Amino acid sequence: MAKQKRPANTGPGWNEGQEPAADTRGRFRGWLGLGIVLLATAFLYAPALSHQFTNWDDDRQVTANPDIRDLSPQGIGKMFSSFYVSLYQPLTSLSWAVEYRLFGLNPRVYHTVNILLHLVNILLVYVFVRSLSAHVGISLVTTALFAVHPLQVEVAAWVSSRSILLSSLFYLGAMIAYIAYAKSGKLRYFALGLVLFVPALLAKTTAATLPLVLMVIDLYLERKVSRQTIWEKIPFFLLSIVFGCITMLARSGVSHLQDFAFKYSLVQRICIVCYSCLWYVGKLVLPVDLSVFYPFPAKPNGWLPIAFYLAPLLLLGLAVGIWYAGRYRRLLAFAALFMLASLVLVVQIVPISELMVCDRYAYLPCIGLFFLAGTLGHRVGLQNPSWRRAMPVGVMLILVALGGLTYQRIGVWRDSLTLWNDFLRRRQDIWVAYLNRGLAEYDEGDRQAAIADFDATLRLNPKADKALNNRAAAYVALGNRPAALRDFDEAIRLNPADSSYVVNRGILKRDMGDFAGAVQDFDTVIELNARNVRALCERADAYRMQGDWTKARVDYDAVLRLDPGHTYAAFLLGAVLVQTGDGQRAVAMLNKALALGCRDPGPAYYLLAQAYQKTGRMDLAKEALRRSQELGYRGPQAPPRQ
């Protein structure tokens, strides 16, 4: 009788007290359980659909990102060939560009897509763990923990974390395909994994950790190290190296990369890396005191806090414990190495951020720890029937507790004010938090509160030029122009490279009647960058206010050559052309401004009536005047003759 072939051993829990993987009833229970997890997660995150954009990167990456406003072939080419805010994530930018084209800047749409991506990733986590463990219970526990853990909120509820959600989708798909290849040997699965790796990198280059994670999967599947297992990783590593170089090129101009190296010694950097690894484990086990901002530690008297120096010893102790863990060693090693391999690019071995750790970086690495929890729970249940009966209740209680914390955390991300109020309740020593709350208060119209927060920012960091610039804007809104001018002067002194500060000061001088000083500021900016549309437009306004129609016309023309869709410049050029008697061109400019969506069409139609009158088209002049009056505008002077 032929010897029956045993199925491949896929890890602890395989075939222990369960139906065969092919059993229809078992599969049905698994998909039913997954459906419940997905519905519960969707309900949990439903409040995020009404959230707003925040001023924590959403402004830079979405609401003020010029790249996502151009979905032409040239615009898409720019996304894939340039770095915006020192990042290379063209696929993420493309997703935002599609949303912008279809829905504009409706935050509900962007949050909806984020939550849908999180739900898809939950499904893929289930498929990944099921393919790894071949056990429904382990897969559901791991997936449920992944779905509702509070540490995931930053990724799912923050628009700017789209890159992680999108990259994770392809990253998970690549791991699933690789496991199928490792079990079957079919090259089409290997090719699929390699193909999926590319969009994962294009969404976020930190996906470059995948080849290391594939090696960890090999360890768990007990694939022997051979020439084949080495060669099959080479294409993945080559892609990682290419995108790693792109990342370093994108981040090369960021000053904190160099600052970090000088601020901490080599030993201190090692301690910070070890502490960061333990921090992620600790927050996954006990997710309390979560924050949007975790700065690097201060060094009173040149020393880090004692916990940082203990971190390498604790990590070493954990490694020794895993080595001597007996039959649990492979499972523990997989969980630890999966987390470490997927975190390696974000634990600041090479600093890529001014933050020591971030909630969002645990999005995929947490799978290792959750898989460990699910598998150990299953094995304990097998050994102790009473524990096995109590296990579902215990798991449900844990999930309910985590869901409650997650619901609270989702509320924190409602808007900029709730986000920074939450942070400042915990810490009052971080100037960036006061700055961002001040910006949010300014946008809400609370200028006095904004000034108070900008004051707090400057007490903590007297060189915060952005706080000075925005405090000046708040003073302008309150009518305190001398104080505003002093702040603009100081902001420019601290950061003369930021031309927007000089333009802002020029606008203030112009509004104070100092036209010569205003034009001088605008000239300074334009001499450095003749394509600065804002400076050109503001200088044109200064000339127009002085009645220098010729110079105003030249500058407005320059603005429209650089930005043909500049509605404001088209409208005011039309106004200048009416003054200079060029009725024909004035008609063209004013009609263009109206077609572009002129913010206040009443005056535009009034001026258009004057322009038509100058060209002798009285019927059109009457119609334009009628439209102006319908919009409630009567004009600053007598209407044109009929």
Instruction: Report pLDDT digits (tens) over 71-124.
Output: 889 989 989 988 887 789 999 999 999 999 999 999 999 999 999 999 999 999
pLDDT tens per residue across span 35-46: 999 999 999 999
335 found inside a domain? yes
Which range (107-111, 138-142, 327-331, 573-577) has the least confidence?
327-331
Q: Give me the sign of the Cα torsion angle 196, 200, 205, 207.
A: negative
Residue 642 in tokens: 């009929």
Q: How confident is the model at residue 61, as a pLDDT?
A: 93
Among the candidates 378, 412, 446, a domain finishes at: 412
pLDDT tens per residue across span 481-522: 999 999 999 999 999 999 999 999 999 999 999 999 999 999
Q: Do residues 560 and 585 make contact, with C-beta atoms less than 8 angstroms apart? A: no
pLDDT of 461 strictly over 60: yes
Q: 4 or 572, which is more confident?
A: 572
Q: How confident is the model at residue 24, as a pLDDT?
A: 66
Name the CA radius of gyration of the chain, rounded.
30
Which of 178, 84, 142 is CA-nearest to residue 398?
142
Which range (289-293, 298-302, 446-450) has the least confidence?
298-302
pLDDT of 18 strictly over 50: no
Q: Do residues 619 and 604 make contact, with C-beta atoms less than 8 angstroms apart? A: no
DSSP-assigned states of every residue in 212-265: HHHHHHHHHTTPPP-HHHHHTTHHHHHHHHHHHHHHHHHHTT-THHHHHHHHS-
Q: How confident is the model at residue 300, as a pLDDT?
A: 81
CATH of the domain at 570: 1.25.40.10
Residue 197 in tokens: 């790796």
DSSP-assigned states of every residue in 453-480: HHHHHHHH-TT-HHHHHHHHHHHHHHT-
Q: 51 or 17, which is more confident?
A: 51
Determine which helix (DSSP H) or strand (DSSP E) holds 592, and give its type and residue range: helix 583-595
Average pLDDT, the chain: 90
What's the half-sphere exposure (Cβ side, CA atoms, 13 Å) at 410? 24
pLDDT of 389 strictly over 90: no
Which of 322, 431, 375 is CA-nearest to residue 142?
375
pLDDT of 436 strictly over 80: yes
Q: How confident is the model at residue 12, as a pLDDT?
A: 43
447 found inside a domain? no
Band the pLDDT of 23: cuts 50, 70, 90. low
pLDDT of 445 strictly over 80: yes
336 found inside a domain? yes
Q: How confident is the model at residue 260, as a pLDDT?
A: 58
Which of 359, 337, 203, 387 is CA-nearest to residue 280?
359
SS3 labels along 533-565: HHHHHHHHHHHHHHCCHHHHHHHHHHHHHHCCC
Q: Do residues 453 and 438 make contact, with C-beta atoms less than 8 angstroms apart? A: yes
Residue 568 in tokens: 């404001």
Residue 327 carries which DSSP code?
A: G
What is the arithmetic mean of pLDDT over 339-357? 82
Q: How confident is the model at residue 20, as a pLDDT?
A: 46
SS3 labels along 12-44: CCCCCCCCCCCCHHHHHHHHHHHHHHHHHHHHH
What count of other Cβ atoms lies within 10 Å of the Cβ of residue 375?
26
Q: Give me the sign of the Cα torsion angle 409, 414, 420, 421.
A: negative
Which of 62, 124, 55 is CA-nearest to residue 87?
62
130 found inside a domain? yes
Could you tell me how far CA 252 lies from the centroid of its own chain? 19
Band the pLDDT of 265: cuts 50, 70, 90. confident
The dihedral over CA atoms of 489, 491, 497, 498, expressed in degrees to the nearest 10, equals -110
432 found inside a domain? no
Q: How far apart (Å, rounded) are the C-alpha atoms in residues 501 and 190?
A: 53
Q: 82 or 543, which is more confident?
A: 543
Residue ranges making up the domain that contains 578: 564-642
358 found inside a domain? yes
Which one-letter amino acid corresponds to residue 314? L
pLDDT tens per residue across span 393-415: 889 999 999 999 999 999 999 99
The residue count of the chain comes to 642
Q: Give me the sign of the Cα torsion angle 558, 559, 563, 564.
A: negative
Question: Looking only at Cα atoms, what is the longest distance across the chain?
Answer: 110
At 424 the three-state DSSP class reads helix
Which one-letter amino acid corresponds to residue 189? Y
What is the arithmetic mean of pLDDT over 401-430? 95
Q: How confident is the model at residue 352, as a pLDDT?
A: 63
pLDDT tens per residue across span 554-601: 999 999 999 998 999 999 999 999 999 999 999 999 999 999 888 889
CA angle 197, 201, 202 (to 5 degrees): 115
pLDDT of 640 strictly over 50: no
What is the arithmetic mean of pLDDT over 14-33? 62
Q: How confident is the model at residue 253, as a pLDDT?
A: 56
Angle, helices 567-580 vs 533-546, to 10°: value is 30
Q: Do residues 38 and 399 make contact, with C-beta atoms less than 8 angstroms apart? A: no
Q: How far apart (Å, rounded) are the C-alpha atoms in residues 67 and 599?
A: 23
Q: How confident is the model at residue 388, as a pLDDT?
A: 76
Split into its structural domains, the chain has a count of 2
Torsion angles phi and psi, residue 355, rounded to 5: -100, 140
Q: How confident is the model at residue 254, as a pLDDT?
A: 54
DSSP-assigned states of every residue in 612-639: HHHTT-HHHHHHHHHHHHHTT---SSPP
518 found inside a domain? no
619 found inside a domain? yes
Band the pLDDT of 192: cuts 50, 70, 90. very high
Q: How far apart (Å, rounded) are the C-alpha atoms in residues 467 and 434?
A: 9
Report the percentage of the chain scoring pLDDT > 90.
Answer: 74
What count of other Cβ atoms lies within 10 Å of the Cβ of residue 23?
12
Residue 65 in tokens: 């990102």
Q: How confident is the model at residue 261, as a pLDDT?
A: 55
